[in-house]
Amino acid sequence: MNEIGELCILLSLGISIYSAIVPILGVKRGRDEYVASAENSLFVTAGLITISSAILTYAFLNRDFSIEYVANYSNRDLPLFYTVSAFWAGQKGSLLFWSLLLSLFAAVVVIQNKNKNRDFMPYVISIISITQCLFLLLMTFAARPFELIYPPEDGSGLNPMLQNPGMVFHPPTLYMGYVGFTIPYAFAMASLLTGHLGDVWIKTTRRWTIFSWFFLGMGNLFGAWWAYRVLGWGGYWAWDPVENASFMPWLTGTAYLHSVMIQERRDMLKVWNMVLIVLTFSLTIFGTFLTRSGVIQSVHSFGQGPVGYYFLAFLIIVIVFSSYLIVSRLSILKSNNELDSIISRESSFLFNNLILVGAAFATFWGTMFPLISEAIKGEKVTVGPPFFNQVNIPIGLALLLLVGICPLIAWKKASISNFKRNFLIPFIVSIIGGIALMPVGTGHLLAWLSFTISIFVITTIVMEVYKGARARMETTGEWFVKALVTLIRKNKRRYGGYIIHIGVVLMYIGITGTSYNVEKEATLNKGEAMTIGDYKLVYRGLDLKEPVPTKAEVIATMDVEKGGKNIVTALPRKDFYKTSEQPISRVYNISGLKEDLYIILAGFPIPFQKDSPATFKVHVNPLVKWLWIGGLVIGVGTFIAMLPDWKGKR
Amino acid sequence: MNKKQLKFAIGSVMIVAAIGYLVVTGISKTSVYYLTVGELLSKGDSVYGEGVRVEGKVVGGSIKKDPTALKVDFRITDGNKDIAIHYEGIIPDLFENGRDVVVEGKYTREGVFKAHTLLTSCPSKYESAGKDHPTNQFTVGS
């Protein structure tokens, strides 16, 4: 079976080289059938990669340990769910998964554009195929998913830390985002190559952009959620290079998502939009290079090897090629309009863009600083979370304020009356809210600012939606809910956007809660208690369980009391796996809308005894849940923004 | 450049300058040296009391854990020289003899590095955890 899998990859490589070259020849010689043939070959590639992926999945399910990748990432005891997800648990499978996504996306693009954008398609096909070649080359030479070994009795198993739903969803969502940005990039380049520089490429790829942006964000969020539930240090984001690597393209992608609206509406910022999509696509490749090459020290020990350098080479090609194209088209990328007033929708979008790109740059600088300082001063100097927080918190607050202002400020030039109409009430409400929040603000100025601005933003959005619905009720006589639903249905993009903004504000609230985190460590004898926040935790002893033959659990029992009442029995534990030397701490997290009570069993004397004292680390993390809720709300908003306009096509 | 565009240029420059200012001050306030054990020792007097980050491998058999599990003494090496580390806090699950670690803290004149942060390289999804290690028996209860 593995030979077929390998053969499919090889064939795909050949076909992808074909579909990279032939459409360009078709344009040169004016032969449409060349392009059609390339389009069909994309379907063949999609089919072959799907077969290849199916074979790998089958090998996992069948416990075929003669395949090195299967032997290294699974074993006989691995539950079905994680056996399937082990597909993307390692580098080789990730590459295959990536290639699979790209081939499927490419097939969808061909179907979508059967009867339109015929001028762009040859170039789009070629660029997607070249990108596909990168992955196929890697899988042929540097990281063969179907490499064989002498089959061991049993596989080494999947790292227990990765046996968590967060880690099942984190890689695929992230990859969907990464791969998805290939499509708008390919269309942008096609538009430069053909010289057809209107906003057709932007409109055509609008849904692809939202789709990729959404999944990239969700990938990050799943990663954060996993870190919070599994790593047990009480937080979800550590500004580690691997995290920054996927945060940077999200920032520039967000900038791009917004600035294209200005081009659609006012025919401006054409060069800027090109730069942003190139930057976003390059950062997805750069992120992959960073995490696979080991050039930057990270606490995650990613595989070091040649794979990273393939991505570096590809990155250099992308940057040189794209920059050359943009520069050569500068004269026809001229804006047909200019900015009228500094107080306008256009300029507020521009500032939002500058800030987002600035945040990406600051994050880039901090991440690369060890390399930069070593190159310049010969000494390795590093910056940690304090740097990123210090820089990105003020930037983030400015951005939050713009979330309130941008969508409502008038185009071209905002008048005083526009300001009064849209912002006076939110301004007053946020002042009142700010005063009411004074008690939580003392000593937490930035947190207070964040809450106050959040109130401002939410009020602007609620007012805007309410006003829209009211206006509909007056003109059509519909009742409120019906008016509201119709309003959203008729302007999915705009109201989807508002909902996404509400989600973003909720995430800000969740992140701001970090300012009020409390943590405490204590070693307790059986029957002793510790207090933290409003909670009293009474330690009731240890227990040893062996739920499966390969795993032992040491479980501590703690009665959690709040206001004198026993609210829950917490069971933080440490798991000991046969396949791994290290124990794994399993956090017991009691999550509420107000705060999380996060309990870690830090240690106990070995050998194990039921009555021995134990050490705990306990965190009270206010408002964390709003971060995850914000993510869900963004999901709803994105869904609405992406719905097709079937009503309009009647 | 007309007057309107000038205003934008000024606005944009102000934003860029503000971000630049944040980055520069951020770096100068928060950056720390990232050294190997040898580099730390060769720095001499200037290094005492200054916050630094040091990487090294935990010397086999050097780990002395406090029974409460919130303190640990051990040594790390760059293969050539080694130093004593005293760390207080939660000990990461992955901390063990022979593992690559990064400590953050201050080196003292007594020759002990007082660490407030202890990071272990965690086997991530891109590397198989069990690959380099022989299968182990349970350490609990033994």
Q: Domains of chain A by range and CATH? A: 1-158 (1.20.120), 164-331+347-391 (no CATH), 392-513+629-649 (no CATH), 516-627 (2.60.98)
Angstrom CA distances, A564 to A137, A520, A536, stand at 64, 20, 8
Q: What is the mean pLDDT of residues A317-344?
A: 86
Of B122, B124, B130, the CB nearest to A157: B130
**What would the pLDDT profile of A109-163 be if each residue is shown by its tens digit?**
999 999 999 999 999 999 999 999 999 999 999 899 999 999 998 888 888 888 8
Check whether B16 has a pLDDT greater than 80. Answer: yes
pLDDT on residue B102: 87
Backbone Cα Rg of chain B:
22
Mean pLDDT estimate for chain A: 91
Residue B42 belongs to some domain of the structure: yes
Angstrom CA distances, A45 to A8, A13, A523, stand at 9, 8, 60
CATH number of the domain where residue B37 is located = 2.40.50.140
Residue B114 belongs to some domain of the structure: yes
Residue B129 belongs to some domain of the structure: no
In total, chain A counts a number of residues equal to 650
Cβ of B91 within 8 Å of Cβ of A603? The answer is yes
Angstrom CA distances, A302 to A388, A513, B123, stand at 22, 31, 8
- B contacts of A231 (beta carbons < 8 Å): 122
Cβ of A544 within 8 Å of Cβ of B55? The answer is no
**B102: closest CA of chain A, how far (Å):** 8
Counting one residue from chain A and one from chain B, the pairs whose CB atoms sit within 8 A come to 206
Q: What is the mean pLDDT of residues A253-282?
A: 92
CB atoms within 10 A of CB A462: 14
pLDDT on residue B128: 34
Q: What is the mean pLDDT of residues B7-13?
A: 85
Instruction: Report the alpha-carbon distance of residue A480 to residue A111 in Å, rounded.
Output: 40
Instruction: Report the alpha-carbon distance of residue A263 to residue A266 in Å, rounded.
Output: 5
> In this predicted structure, which of A193-202, A268-277, A411-420, B50-59 has the lowest mean pLDDT?
A411-420
The domain containing residue B56 runs over which residues?
A: 32-120
Q: Of A166-170, A284-288, A497-501, A609-613, which has the strongest mean pLDDT?
A: A497-501
> In this predicted structure, which of A150-159, A536-545, B129-138 has the lowest mean pLDDT?
B129-138
Q: pLDDT higher for A23 or A159? A: A23
Can you tell me whether residue A573 is helix, strand or coil?
Answer: strand
**Cβ(A481)–Cβ(A466) under 8 Å?**
no
Check whether B125 has a pLDDT greater than 50. Answer: no
With cut-offs at 50, 70 and 90, classify the pLDDT of residue A542: very high
DSSP codes of every residue in B47-89: GBTSEEEEEEEEPTT--EE-TTSSEEEEEEESSS-EEEEEEES
By CB neighbour count within 10 A (0-12 exposed, 13-18 middle, 19+ buried), where does A136 fall?
A: buried
**Cβ(B77)–Cβ(B59) under 8 Å?**
yes
**What would the pLDDT profile of A384-403 be if each residue is shown by its tens digit?**
888 999 999 999 999 999 99
In total, chain B counts a number of residues equal to 142
pLDDT on residue A626: 97
- Beta-sheet pairing, A518-524 with A381-382: unpaired
Q: What is the mean pLDDT of residues A487-508?
A: 94
Query: Which residues, numbered 88 to 117 in chain B, qualify as contacts with chain A under a Cβ-Cβ cut-off of 8 Å?
Result: 89-91, 93-94, 96, 100, 102, 104
**Cβ(A295)–Cβ(A308) under 8 Å?**
yes
Residue B94 belongs to some domain of the structure: yes
pLDDT on residue A302: 53
Q: What is the mean pLDDT of residues A599-622?
A: 89
CB atoms within 10 A of CB A47: 14
**What would the pLDDT profile of A550-593 be if each residue is shown by its tens digit?**
788 999 999 999 988 999 999 999 988 876 667 888 999 999 99
Residue B9 belongs to some domain of the structure: no
With cut-offs at 50, 70 and 90, classify the pLDDT of residue A260: very high
Q: What is the mean pLDDT of residues A60-76?
A: 93
Angstrom CA distances, B13 to A355, A530, A534, B5, stand at 11, 53, 48, 12
Tokens found for residue A274: 């090109």
**Best CA proximity match to A65, nearest among A157, A151, A159, A6:** A151
**Cβ(A605)–Cβ(B67) under 8 Å?**
yes
A444-447 long-range contacts (CB < 8 A, ≥24 apart) are A444/A515, A444/A516, A446/A393, A446/A394, A446/A397, A446/A515, A447/A512, A447/A515, A447/A516
**Cα-to-chain-centroid distance, residue A160:** 23
Of A342, A395, A615, the CB nearest to B7: A342
Q: What is the mean pLDDT of residues A445-464?
A: 95
List % helix, strand, coil for chain A (3-state, nearest 5).
Answer: 65, 10, 20
**ipTM score of complex:** 0.82
Residue B139 belongs to some domain of the structure: no
Cβ of A380 within 8 Å of Cβ of B7? The answer is no
* Number of domains present in the structure of chain B: 1
Instruction: Report the alpha-carbon distance of residue A642 to residue B19 in Å, rounded.
Output: 33
- Beta-sheet pairing, A529-532 with A588-591: unpaired
Angle at A585 between CA A581 and CA A588, to 5 degrees: 160
pTM of the model as a whole: 0.92
Residue B58 belongs to some domain of the structure: yes
Instruction: Report the alpha-carbon distance of residue B66 to residue A523 in Å, rounded.
Output: 12
Check whether B142 has a pLDDT greater than 60. Answer: no
Burial A590-623 (b: 16+ CB within 10 A, else e): beeeebbbbbbbbbbebebeeeebbbbbbbbbbb
Task: Provide the β-strand partners of residue B82.
Answer: B77
- Beta-sheet pairing, A614-622 with B112-120: unpaired
Check whether B126 has a pLDDT greater than 80. Answer: no
Query: Which residues, numbered 165 to 204 in chain A, qualify as contacts with chain B under a Cβ-Cβ cut-off of 8 Å?
Result: 167, 171
Residue B36 belongs to some domain of the structure: yes
